[in-house]
Chain A
């Protein structure tokens, strides 16, 4: 793309994206009314990623950028992926160790006041 054009695109895409974001947020908000479980988790993540993708791809114009930028920006976070992956194991390892040696928590949560 050349200097004078820049990231200029038909307004329509923005409107669509905009509406889409509202709808999707509506959905992810709705997941709060589902009962817990794999399905809910799936939806939470699913809508999260779709929304995130939309913002990055359309609003941040990533979709129109060249592949080289896409890779340069989306590549490095893989490292974070590894960190997340391993830290889940670490978290559970710690928790198990605690349950085994220090026993269940004795904390009684209070009712959440409504106002």
Chain B
């Protein structure tokens, strides 16, 4: 639909000047919409997706759900996830109480792999300085071990402050919540 732009007479124009003043005058007396930030917070922060955090296991809040598959690191477009994995030879049964059944089933056929290599998540390093907040890591994680934090108050004096060790953060957060 092709229209013509409306033209304006001088009289209309002069009237429009007063109409404009009325609009601003009206807004002058309207309530403000400012969120007084350090004292108040905007109401929709919960939906904000900040940097990622590890999700703890439900039963054991000190370890994460992560199964160390490395998918997130691979999917990340900015290569900002680094998994530090410690390989540990775990002595089977006696000490291990967590999965006795599984081990027993596995143990009989082959005696050789008695010493099982267990991969332990030593650190989960996120270089937030590179992150583009795309959420691909969260999407790819098969066990939903990652979540977004809603923390938007980051600022610091060095850039190293934003290289997070997520495992530690997770633990600290748990400690803070359990103590507080």
Q: Do A and B bind each other?
A: no
A residues contacting B by CB (< 8 A) are none
